[in-house]
A and B are shown apart, each in its own frame.
Chain A
Amino acid sequence: MTGSLRPEDREANRELASLQRQLNTLAGLAMHSAAPRGVRVFPSVIISATDEKLIVRAEVPGMALEDFDISVSGETLIIQGSRLTGEGLEGGWYHRRERESGGFSRAIRLPVAVDADAVEATYMAGVLTVSLPPKRPAKPRAIPVKVVEG
């Protein structure tokens, strides 16, 4: 088929193919720029700060505080757990299933080192709140200077 094309048709074909490649490149770029949102790990978080502490929040409805496994080491906060939906089906059948079910594990790098012993977590209305006071810098110890007479 291609062999029977007139030279001007072949030229047009080449241009079309070139346009197609350019479009693909553009589409690839668009997909690439959207990727960081797509590869995120559950749960999504909001990290905020007050004068005294860092606060990490996540919306994980339908759990209990005991279902979370939260640990801190240095500047890393790890939130793990599993949320299972569809347990109380009572022998029924689904018409619609949108609520995500499964396990999750997320490590979050914090902007400062935190005091692991003072970390507190609360769970209210499906929102997990972890408050993390920063590690206090070692206080400079004042060394009294004695006056030595002599």
Chain B
Amino acid sequence: MAEGKEIAVTEKREVDTRIHQELRSGNWFVPAADIYETPDRVVLVMDMPGVCFDCAHLNIVDDELVVTGHVTHGEDEDDYVLYREYDVGHYHRHFGLPPTIDRERIEASMADGVLKVAMLKVEEPKPYRIPIKVSE
């Protein structure tokens, strides 16, 4: 196709409920994530199919970015399932925030089941040159 490469099927990774006991009820999965860095920002992109934009939540807890998404699209409970290859569930993942990230300047947007979080880096203090005068 466009890239000549076919997408491989990857199983959804389940959240370890031994660590996250609060997530015991329901299906919870770890969203697949891309992280890239540009000179001024770090961008986190996550696949969270079935989550509408107002059902995703981002919190900073103890230097960790906590991502939670509640699935709202993806399955109709009244339907009679004939064949199933994947389970529908919510999403949860933690990311450690390095000190270079400006906590006040994190922006997130969501479209088509993809959550994008742009985190601006802390502006590095510019070295200030102190002029030295010749003392007489």
Contacts and interface: CB of A to CB of B under 8 A. Distances in A.
A42 B7 CA distance: 6
B50 A125 contact: yes
Contacts of B42: 95
Interface in B55-105: 72-76, 78-86, 88
A100 B34 contact: no
Interface residues of A, number: 51
Contact of A48 (B2, B36, B80): B80
Contacts of A59: 49-50, 74, 86, 113
B112 interface: yes
Contacts of A86: 34, 36
A29 interface: no
A92 B39 CA distance: 7
Given A61-B114, A102-B5, A55 B76 contact: yes
Given A46-B81, A48-B81, A60 B34 contact: no
A7 to B, nearest CB: 51
B73 A96 contact: no
A103 B112 contact: no
Interface stretch (A17-25, A77-85, A138-146): A77-85
B45 A82 contact: no
B37 to A, nearest CB: 5
Interface of A: 37, 40-50, 54-55, 57, 59-64, 80-86, 89-105, 111, 123-127
Give 8 closest A-B pairs by Cβ, nearest first.
A126-B113, A103-B1, A61-B113, A126-B49, A92-B38, A48-B79, A59-B49, A44-B85
11 contacts: A44-B85, A47-B83, A59-B113, A62-B114, A81-B1, A85-B45, A104-B6, A125-B49, A126-B47, A127-B50, A127-B113
Interface of B: 1-11, 32-39, 42-43, 45-52, 72-76, 78-86, 88, 111-114
